[in-house]
Amino acid sequence: MAHIKLENVVKRFGDVVAVKDFNLEIEDKEFVVFLGPSGCGKTTTLRLIAGLENPEEGDIFIDGHRVNDLSPADRDIAFVFQFYALYPHLSVYNNIAFPLKAVKVSKSEIDTQVKRVAEILQISDMLDRKPNVLSGGEMQRVALGRAMVRQPKVYLLDEPMANLDTKIRIDTRAEIKRLQHEIGATTIFVTHDQVEAMSLADRIAVIHQGLLQQIGTPYEVYNKPESLFVAGFMGMPTMNLLEADLGSQEGESVLCLSHTDVCFRLSPERQACISSATRENGLVFGIRPEHITAASESDEQRILAHVHLVEPLGPVNILDIRLGTHPETQEPILLRVRTHPTFQATVGDTIWLDFDEGEMHLFDRGTERAVWGK
């Protein structure tokens, strides 16, 4: 059993506030991924949970017990920084056995545990080898075995696959997911790779500049971003985010993309969500490239636009569509649209766009929080 709770946790390094008023609860057996750009505070938060750093403010609880004053060794946590950190002079068997030898477990018990872990990780036939003859993926599994042999309450994994090539990374990702499910230990995994986060996590904690931006299932953080940062961070390509204004057309309220002819009628419910403070702060409209349909035939309902760039990605094409020109900077106002690779379009073509209005998002430019979304 391991339920983890961070309450108003703050960590500073001199003038840098690495973790800002962090509040998070992680359920027993949950797989939570900390996701965010470099320097956002992921590792520091992990180190605070492990006891390798002390918070200036706030409390950390494991299973309801405040652990601020407990040493790392007393927290029953296994911390895996990089799977490569193996002892080169020891065999795979002795690398895995090392944590148990350190706490003087009996020889026969060590043997049982090492073999149990090796079987789960499918490295039983490598126990006599030294790390230098193993592949990257195998070394990772040995380092994971060394963490697993202790059967801790919590696993903390910090970018464990950072230096692996793509294929091994994908295989190991599947392995880690399977293992976590089998072992059922609470796990926190740090990465800046959103695909890794989406594929592994029960819930993703998106962190930016030391602040927890959103905690939710992969579906929630992708489809219901609560802030501009999350909207702009998740997805490849990311969500289209364009400045927008409120207006009226034929007596009806509309939301228009600034400096373009693109306007959408606003339902009374959506209109009611836009406070006067938000109107003053300004609006940012969001829609994902896959929620706009491109057509080569005109239609009254569709919006006319021009192709600025075509990016063939294999299974899909991404079209950059020009909606207008910024009057001050003269920069093109662009929108990315995902199309089937068979959709014929070349630079300069006129096409027609259909926006899925159920998938539109609106953000307050000042607070950067979502006004409404899907």
Can you give the binding site for ligand ATP, defined by CB under 6 A? 13, 16, 18, 36, 38-44, 192
Q: Which of 17, 170 has the CB closer to ligand ATP?
A: 17
Paired tokens of 152: 């801790």
Taking the complex as a whole, the smallest distance from the CB of residue 16 to ligand ATP amounts, in Å, to: 5
Task: Kindly tell me the burial class for residue 319, based on how many C-beta atoms sit within 10 Å of its own C-beta (0-12, 13-18, 19 or more).
Answer: buried
User: Measured from the CB atom, is 169 or 192 closer to ligand ATP?
Assistant: 192
Residue 123 token pair: 């490295």
Q: Is 366 helix (H, G, I), strand (E, B) or coil?
A: coil
Question: Is the Cβ of residue 52 or residue 310 nearer to ligand ATP in the bound state?
Answer: 52
In the complex with ligand ATP, the residue whose CB is nearer, 207 or 333, is 207
For the bound state, the minimum distance from the C-beta of residue 158 to ligand ATP, rounded and expressed in Å, comes to: 8
Tell me how far, at minimum, the Cβ of 27 lies from ligand ATP, in Å: 23
Residue pair 196/180 in contact (Cβ under 8 Å)? The answer is no
What are the backbone angles phi and psi of residue 191, rounded to the nearest 5°? -155, 160
CB of 143 to ligand ATP, least distance (A): 18
Token pair of 78, please? 């296994």
Min dist. Cβ of residue 24 to ligand ATP (A): 15
Q: Residue 13 or residue 219: which is nearer to ligand ATP going by CB?
A: 13
Query: What value does the CA radius of gyration of the chain take, rounded to a whole number of Å?
Result: 25
- Of 2, 373, 32, the C-alpha closest to 207 is 32
Q: Which lies closer to ligand ATP via its Cβ, residue 41 or residue 51?
A: 41
Closer residue to ligand ATP in complex, CB, 40/257: 40
DSSP structure string for 334-350: EEEEEE-TTS---TT-E
CB of 336 to ligand ATP, least distance (A): 26
Q: Closest Cα to residue 35, out of 275, 253, 206, 247?
A: 206
> Residue 242, SS3?
strand
Task: Output the smallest distance, CB 36 to ligand ATP, in A.
Answer: 6
Question: Which is closer to ligand ATP, CB of 192 or CB of 203?
Answer: 192
Convert 157-184 to b/e letters by CB count within 10 Å (16 or more is b).
bbbbbeebeeebbeebbebbbebbeeee
Question: Environment class of residue 186 by beta-carbon count within 10 Å: exposed (0-12), middle (13-18) or buried (19+)?
Answer: buried
Beta strands 303-312 and 350-355 are antiparallel
Distance in Å, CB of 170 to ligand ATP, minimum: 20
Find all residues with CB under 8 Å of 267, minimum gap 6, and list them.
Answer: none
CA distance 40 to 245: 32
Q: How far is the CB of 85 from ligand ATP (least distance, A)?
A: 16
Closer residue to ligand ATP (CB): 18 or 257: 18
